[in-house]
Amino acid sequence: MARVVIRREVIEEGELDLVPTAKLREALRLLEREPERGKPLRRVLTGCRSIRIGGSENRIVYRVISVTASSEEIIEILAIERRRESEAYDTAERRL
């Protein structure tokens, strides 16, 4: 099972408030169990993934980091934003 880490910017910029808490918890638990579940992204965000949350308009953009020494996987949440006008992807790109 992977460990989820939410970047400070996601919290400070109020992105957690975009979706209901229950939906967010459900999505994070899913990522803990199935880190590769999200859609692989391309271009600048190659190596990152995206999943829907709270309907079709919001996305969690994350990347899976493998820690070789402990064989642990860390899910780093880069952004929780709206999909429209590429908000989620633009925010994640700035945080890479």
Number of Cβ within a 10 Å radius of residue 39: 11
**pLDDT for residue 46:** 97
Q: What does the alpha-carbon distance between residue 75 and residue 73 come to, in Å, rounded to a whole number?
A: 7
- Residue of 18, 7, 2 whose CA lies nearest to 72: 2
Taking the chain (96 residues) in runs of 10, the rounded mean pLDDT of each run is 94 93 94 95 96 88 87 93 88 95
Q: Which domain holds residue 84?
A: 3-95
What are residue 52's DSSP bridge partners?
A: 59
How far is the C-alpha of 68 from the C-alpha of 12, rounded, in Å?
30
Provide the token pair at 22. Answer: 């229950």
> Total domain count for the chain?
1
Residue 57 is predicted with a pLDDT of 86
CATH no. for residue 52?
3.30.2310.20
- Residue linked to tokens 């642990």: 72
Q: What is the pLDDT of residue 56?
A: 75
